[in-house]
Structure 1
């Protein structure tokens, strides 16, 4: 796990060839890397091409191959291909042996990252289909003058890009652009339209994410374009499933155990995050099972017990599941380290966690992730095997129930619901969720977005979950219509929309939309990599191993959601059955409780004082795009009324303020304000193919 920052000079006028200018490039690159030092505290490496047009930078977190041979950038034996890699690549022994046989590749060390060079030399761009893991990669082929930036299939590892003064800049975090001449500006259209939560935009103008399952390509220092190499696929709902239920359960169990086993390898200490839910509990149970079979976890001795880590909120908050995690740890016989996050701790870490996340989150749970990683670090661990991604592939959230019931599961070869019961269940599920979202849901299905997305309700619910910001009228579209639901639909490839329309069950459409939006843009970022790497902890996600995920995607909907003998809906049905040998009966029977942090705090306490300091009329006015009138009253109001929607709005406002202060973002100006000031600009210097 590491941090990367790269520069590619796109224009001839930016060519640099003498040693003095190369030294200046190195200085800029090292300053950029210092901004993300937390991602790689152990060493710094740079490489600059002879003509000065390409520069690769890397800060290293030692995980595998702690010798100097594991330092980056890495170079092919003929010195024609150069790369920096962030993350982990699995199946190391198999892939290395394969490359040694096929092209007699001479490996310099035992780092998994070196596999990228060998695979690229043999397969070219198609090497990506052979990589398994969590990664982001930048690679330059000097013979072909080909630069590429790659992100893993689910976007577990971040990668951003922008063009600044004729240079393509690529980095693991946006803050790395600050020393490279980048001046952050709010992308108000992305913020208002929710594109930064849904698509590949960010909160800043002209800064984009490399999309998951995509490679950003720049050939001969010219046009930049993205190319997709992977996407989620789901089965044709019109084709009957031939496998038996037990066969499908066993298939999940085999692939999950294999995914966990692959993630045990490291030359440092590896732990497991453990909450009170089934996802982390089954991961801990499988790791414990593998250790008893003689497998080694990280650098621990063979007879060393597994170490698990958890967060405890105040017991009276209604959000603490640590007692259940403690019982699971006791059942497994593992060591369990627990960090208590009270109100004071949440307030203390608020600003730093926001700075690392680089975007707002309508829940304080991101601070829990930040604090948990601090606990890993303080105990001497560097790797966290976690349960992220299970809800998104196994249909673990209650918001998926209406879309499961929207159509009969005609592909399932087992018992199905009578049609009248299905329709009654659908109405009840929709009405229940509409109460949760205070009547904001489009239950009639009349919107263009719903018609495009197989009439699914999940995108509507995802939109309603975020608080509406008090955006100034001048920043709204001319017709004052903002429809994030359309942003969901329009961010899906046209070929996929045809699959959605004719072949996919609505549940699978819902899972696809959630994965393409909130999983990759919010959960894997704010509750994953950013909080983990803030304290130099590598996160590993066995549930998002594409061998497992592709298998689960192709199971019929009724293997994911099922009604039990009491008439209650059971989410993640096939996972529960596959997990049975590794978890307690308590965990097996427990229903989903989304990971969230407390939302109610007393007046004049640490959280109230923090928000009073941040959410002021003056601070909100500095943002430029939000209406500052009345915001201070909102802060006091929420600590009087305890209204959850207002609390979520207020903490989002506070995070916008923190980001403005830490990044030094200039005040946003509407087009009218720019015209009045004579600053209105049309067009862009970025050319996309």
Structure 2
């Protein structure tokens, strides 16, 4: 795993090397093991790379990499699994390699198969930039689920790309401000796919690539292409309807995904909570290894949210070497500001801070790689909202019974994972046939957002429909004619998985401390199986992830095999006096009347009213959870504005680049 950055001047002017160096130096946390840059002076293109050595620790693997004839340049962030097989096949065809790096296969696949053919070969989590001098084309590509980030900014003069937005902000000509719509979505939690909170900065969406070419009169022509999407079949056309067949395919595919991700030239550990997902990963990883697996667990001082007791029993059953990091409520606001420097977006729950602290602990323990359980809920219908949509939208006679059961058993997560009231959005209803339950809590929070916005911004966004903005980005061809459960899972994959779980809950807090997380469930070969499993094998008799439970039955402790999905979240501030006080200490700085007025983003009276509602709630647990989330977002907006959007960021990046240990080497 690494960090990449670069920019292309539309007039062909040679990029400034110090600016290029600063763009990766500001991301040095992503890769402290080496720095490199390449400038094509004739074409006006520069690429840079900061490296975390996981595969092939040799210095010769320093990036950017150039083809033997110098016509192709590539810089890569991520891991490409099965690269050994691809190398062997290409070697048999006459290709010769200069390094042992997995990234070098791109220089050999692309001339043979083109960009789409190359992407079809790749397995893993990755984002890369590839420049073809012959066609004067820059390709920006991202993995199928969006595990690895890739952002870009384009105007008439230049196109800039980076693994993190701070790398783009390190360029002095990029505006550093919230967009109005981006600010709205930061306060309500759910981003519009493909967008960011900031003016002019976009994401390369998961499963897509950009083909960028210069226009004759300045600027760039940018084409976006889809090479992969979550492919749920039409209702009734599922391939796996036999339970035994589905169980065997899931077990074999998951084992294969884990084996691929255990390959590294450094030690590999596992994250372990008390859920089926991480326990399955640990159990299969332990079966593949001859030595004990290092298992890292987060524990909370709130028994309602602490899963460490179950995790202990799972670790003991596999002979794992368990390491438990216990966190107090106030610990989660101590690092709230530092976490936002890395997430570059607001977070509704301090789980992101907990994972930030855990990645630091993992690094300090000498580990750079862990396997994680993210993606299981998306593939096997684990979240309570999926069950809600399955029972209420599938003509299930017992729908109302299961709805009551869901609301009761998920009381802690109402207001976040479940909305306490039905929320309808006309645009989503028109597209999906219903408003997916996974979006309803955030649409409910969206009704509180206008009161938090500065009056000028509020007036500009009057009538704005956040649900409609999300619906416009979703593929109708992948939704219409599908089963309600498939629709619910698809919408979550395109919104919450990429925009939340894999960003502030994944890459950004993991790589904050040069720690690589490998989510084995998000292997696209396993996903291809999961998408074809009939809904009644994913949810059976009200129980989620039925087929996965059965596939892992002999591996899981009995209590875990029978346990209902428990969302892994940190305790909200309202549940803990010390944590609430820690929040208030931060708010006294970032949400003071003076700070709010100076930033010009929020409405002072709106923030004060929200604080009053938390002190004197008129509703139930769900309202308090939603208020906590809104206050976290408001605090996060102010933190991001002060620290990330600071006008001295380009100067800070150059200072880092000038430090001797940060100076990159030319390729």
TM-score (norm 2): 0.88
Please point out which of 91, 95, 102 is paired with 1:105: 95
Match of 2:177 in 1: 185
Contact 1:195–1:202 at 8 Å: present in 2 too? no
**Alignment partners' CA distance in 1, 2:332 and 2:415:** 26
Match of 1:214 in 2: 208
Please point out which of 311, 326, 329 is paired with 2:298: 311
The answer as to 2:313 corresponding to 1:339 is no
Deviation, structure 1 residue 473: 4.1
Match of 2:349 in 1: 363
**Alignment partners' CA distance in 1, 2:202 and 2:626:** 29
SS of match in other structure, 1:308:
strand
Deviation, structure 1 residue 591: 1.2
**Alignment partners' CA distance in 1, 2:437 and 2:190:** 18
Deviation, structure 1 residue 407: 4.9
Q: How many residues align?
A: 625
CA RMSD of aligned residues (A): 2.5
Please point out which of 37, 48, 51 is paired with 1:46: 37
CA distances 1:609-661 after superposition (whole Å, capped 9, x unpaired):
22333221222223323211253564476357593322222221111111011
Deviation, structure 1 residue 245: 0.8
SS of match in other structure, 1:582:
coil
Match of 2:552 in 1: 579
Change (3 A) 1:33 1:424: closer
Deviation, structure 1 residue 553: 0.7
Match of 1:495 in 2: 477
CA distances 1:407-435 after superposition (whole Å, capped 9, x unpaired):
55xxxxxxxxxx67345446647987999
Match of 2:442 in 1: 463
Change (3 A) 1:460 1:340: closer
The answer as to 2:618 corresponding to 1:645 is no
Please point out which of 231, 239, 255 is paired with 1:257: 255
Aligned counterparts, 1:144-155, within 5 A = 144-155=135-146
SS of match in other structure, 1:63:
coil
Change (3 A) 1:441 1:332: closer
Contact 1:216–1:224 at 8 Å: present in 2 too? yes
Change (3 A) 1:196 1:57: farther
The answer as to 2:12 corresponding to 1:5 is no
Change (3 A) 1:437 1:37: closer
Match of 1:415 in 2: none
Change (3 A) 1:382 1:350: same
Aligned counterparts, 1:157-168, within 5 A = 157-164=148-155, 166-168=157-159
SS of match in other structure, 2:554:
helix
TM-score (norm 1): 0.86
SS of match in other structure, 2:442:
helix
Match of 1:449 in 2: 428
Please point out which of 575, 595, 610 is paired with 2:568: 595
CA distances 1:41-100 after superposition (whole Å, capped 9, x unpaired):
011000001325111100000101000222111111222111000000011221111212
CA distances 1:298-336 after superposition (whole Å, capped 9, x unpaired):
xxxxxx3210101111044x2111121111111111101
Unaligned runs of 5+ in 2: 648-667
**Alignment partners' CA distance in 1, 2:82 and 2:175:** 41
Contact 2:190–2:496 at 8 Å: present in 1 too? no
Contact 2:189–2:346 at 8 Å: present in 1 too? no
Contact 2:301–2:328 at 8 Å: present in 1 too? yes
Match of 1:34 in 2: 25
Match of 2:454 in 1: 472
**Alignment partners' CA distance in 2, 1:461 and 1:485:** 9
The answer as to 2:287 corresponding to 1:280 is no
SS of match in other structure, 2:212:
strand
CA distances 1:423-481 after superposition (whole Å, capped 9, x unpaired):
54466479879994599777486824212112243254253364633123432466832
Deviation, structure 1 residue 220: 4.4
Deviation, structure 1 residue 493: 2.6
Please point out which of 504, 507, 512 is paired with 2:485: 507
SS of match in other structure, 2:99:
coil
Match of 2:110 in 1: 120
Deviation, structure 1 residue 542: 0.6
Please point out which of 330, 333, 337 is paired with 2:316: 330
CA distances 1:148-175 after superposition (whole Å, capped 9, x unpaired):
1111000000000002561100000001
Deviation, structure 1 residue 208: 0.2
Please point out which of 266, 269, 276 is paired with 1:268: 266
Deviation, structure 1 residue 195: 9.5
**Alignment partners' CA distance in 1, 2:177 and 2:124:** 34
Deviation, structure 1 residue 205: 0.6
Change (3 A) 1:264 1:556: same
**Alignment partners' CA distance in 2, 1:446 and 1:256:** 36
**Alignment partners' CA distance in 1, 2:426 and 2:263:** 49
SS of match in other structure, 2:128:
strand
Bigger RCO (CA 8 Å, 6+ sep):
2
Match of 2:652 in 1: none
Unaligned runs of 5+ in 1: 17-21, 293-303, 409-418, 564-568, 667-689
Match of 2:531 in 1: 553
SS of match in other structure, 2:567:
coil
Please point out which of 617, 622, 627 is paired with 2:593: 617
The answer as to 2:154 corresponding to 1:171 is no
CA distances 1:463-514 after superposition (whole Å, capped 9, x unpaired):
3364633123432466832322212321113433xxx22x210110010000
Match of 2:508 in 1: 530
CA distances 1:188-211 after superposition (whole Å, capped 9, x unpaired):
123325697131111101000111
Match of 1:245 in 2: 243
Please point out which of 362, 368, 373 is paired with 1:387: 373
SS of match in other structure, 2:326:
strand
Change (3 A) 1:3 1:466: farther
SS of match in other structure, 1:51:
coil
**Alignment partners' CA distance in 2, 1:602 and 1:195:** 25
Change (3 A) 1:453 1:441: farther
SS of match in other structure, 1:201:
coil
Contact 1:405–1:425 at 8 Å: present in 2 too? no
Change (3 A) 1:258 1:358: same
SS of match in other structure, 1:112:
coil
Deviates more, 1:580-589 or 1:443-452: 443-452
